[in-house]
Amino acid sequence: MTQTQKAILAFLLFTIFVLLGGIGYYALQTYRVFASQPLGPALPFTPLALPPTWTPSPGAPSSLGQVTLVPTISFPTGTPSAPICSGPAIMNIVMIGADTRADSYLYGLGDAIRLVRVDFVTPKVSVLEFPRDLWVEIPEIADNLDGQDHEKLNQAYLYGQPGFKYWDDPSGGPGLLSLTLNRNFGVQVDHYVAINMRTFVHVVDAVDGIDINITDKDAANSTGLPVGQHHLDGTEALKVARNRVEGTFARADNQNIVFCALRKKLTSPQVVTKIPALIDSFKDNIITDFTPEQIRQLACLGTRLPAANIAFTSFPQELFSQTRVFDPVFAKKVFIWDVDFTILSDYVARFQAGTWPEPRITVPVAPEADGEVVCE
């Protein structure tokens, strides 16, 4: 090979290297742009912040409520830990289970409402249930309801959806429900996820069902399943989650049982490697403002999160009493829970600060009379 040929070859190799490097850089930048784009409209508002020196209001009870999981496992280090999985220190998520059975999200009430606090430092996930029958102020609806600005909490999601569109923000029902939670209880929301019943059934079926162990008669009465081991498909899991024969609070416990079983299945060796494909296949059937990168962070956290660091909780039942109020929309009295919102706001503030529910040592293996459920 002559010197001229060597020079030409070297130039060609250099050119190819530069081109490949440019293509690689472009692909990386394209991925970064894609990974940073929300899959749905972001929340349009800045939540009302609680003062940094917040303390419980006088008279607020110290009861822990229905704590469903506990001793927190921490990882001691000499210096404060950094968030794992490249996540933020704390992420607050509103999760909504819509009661529509259709594939679309035009309508639907917020049948299940959860505030999820994700701690990427400990790591830990805490889940707080909001009863749907709370009589709340819903922003942005009065002009459409002849001045009526109060309705049940689950209707905030409905009124924001495209079928009603009582406010014009692209975030729709999740955005209006998040704003309502913030207005009434000081809830701080970073992101939202909404899923309808049909998609929930498909998700459970996609992981080949879930396993639930009913160990006593109380749990059997609550879930509608006999004592023993059960393998549920999506339709059966939905039936358990919606069972409220034993009352509204029992239904919340049933939903937590199903969530625990689904979480266990999603972190099993057989399924965990399929999570990216599952996310991709269902991303068009779930409403969320997560970016692909944030989904990756949560999926990463899920594989590194001890089961004992998942806490389901709800407000103490003794705070609530049944009553009825006249609803001009329906021109009749409707059932609601009567409760002091100041006290609930105290619980919310402690929940989001990570100081409630407090860790306590208990090892129940099934739903108890006070509504405790444990993720095994």
The tens digit of pLDDT for each residue in 287-322 reads 899 998 998 898 888 888 887 888 889 999 999 999
List residues bridging with 232 in a β-sheet.
Answer: 210
Class of domain 39-353: alpha beta
* Range from 59-73, 212-226, 350-364 carrying the lowest mean pLDDT: 59-73
Domain spans, the chain: 1-35, 39-353
Mean per-residue pLDDT of the chain:
79
Its pTM stands at: 0.77
pLDDT score for 4: 65
Phi first, then psi: what are they for 41, rounded to 5°? Answer: -60, 140
pLDDT value, residue 62: 43
The conformational region for residue 116 under phi > 0 = left, psi -120 to 50 = alpha, else beta, is: beta
User: What whole-number percentage of the chain has pLDDT above 70?
Assistant: 74
- The Cα 271–Cα 269 span in angstroms is 6
pLDDT of residue 59: 47
Identify the residue with better confidence: 23 or 150.
150
pLDDT of residue 63: 43
Cβ–Cβ under 8 Å, residues 147 and 328: no
Task: Quote the CA–CA distance of 183 and 177 in Å, as a whole number.
Answer: 10
* Tens-digit pLDDT profile for residues 31-65: 454 466 778 888 876 655 544 444 444 444 444 44
Overall average pLDDT of the 262-279 stretch: 75
Residues 328 and 319: their CA atoms lie apart, in Å, by 26
How confident is the model at residue 42, as a pLDDT?
Answer: 87
Tens digits of per-residue pLDDT, 120-165? 999 999 999 999 999 999 999 999 998 999 999 999 999 999 999 9
Q: What is the mean pLDDT of residues 342-348?
A: 96
For residue 277, give the amino acid letter.
Answer: A
pLDDT at position 306: 84
From the number of C-beta atoms within 10 Å of its C-beta (0-12, 13-18, 19+), residue 302 rates as: middle
High-pLDDT (> 90) share of the chain, %: 38
In whole angstroms, what is the distance from residue 269 CA to residue 258 CA?
Answer: 19
For residues 265-284, one letter each, b for 16 or more C-beta atoms within 10 angstroms of the residue's C-beta and e for the rest, the string is bbbeeeeeeebeeebeeeee
Task: Of 228, 224, 107, 213, give the one whose Cα is nearest residue 163.
Answer: 107
pLDDT beyond 80 at 110 = yes
- The more confident residue out of 11 and 243 is 243
Does the pLDDT value for residue 227 go beyond 70? yes
DSSP strand E in 190-240: where? 191-196, 210-214, 228-232
Three-state DSSP state, 322: strand
Mapped onto helix, strand or coil, the DSSP state of residue 42 is coil
* pLDDT category of residue 29 using cuts at 50, 70 and 90: very low
Question: For residue 188, what pLDDT band results from cuts at 50, 70 and 90?
Answer: very high
pLDDT at 131: 94
DSSP string, 244-281: -TT-HHHHHHHHHHHHHHHHHHHTSHHHHTTHHHHHHH
Q: With a cut of 60, say whether residue 258 has pLDDT above it.
A: yes
pLDDT band at 3 (very low <50, low <70, confident <90, very high): low
pLDDT reported for residue 320: 96
Q: What is the pLDDT of residue 136?
A: 97
Given pLDDT bands bounded at 50, 70 and 90, which one contains residue 351? very high
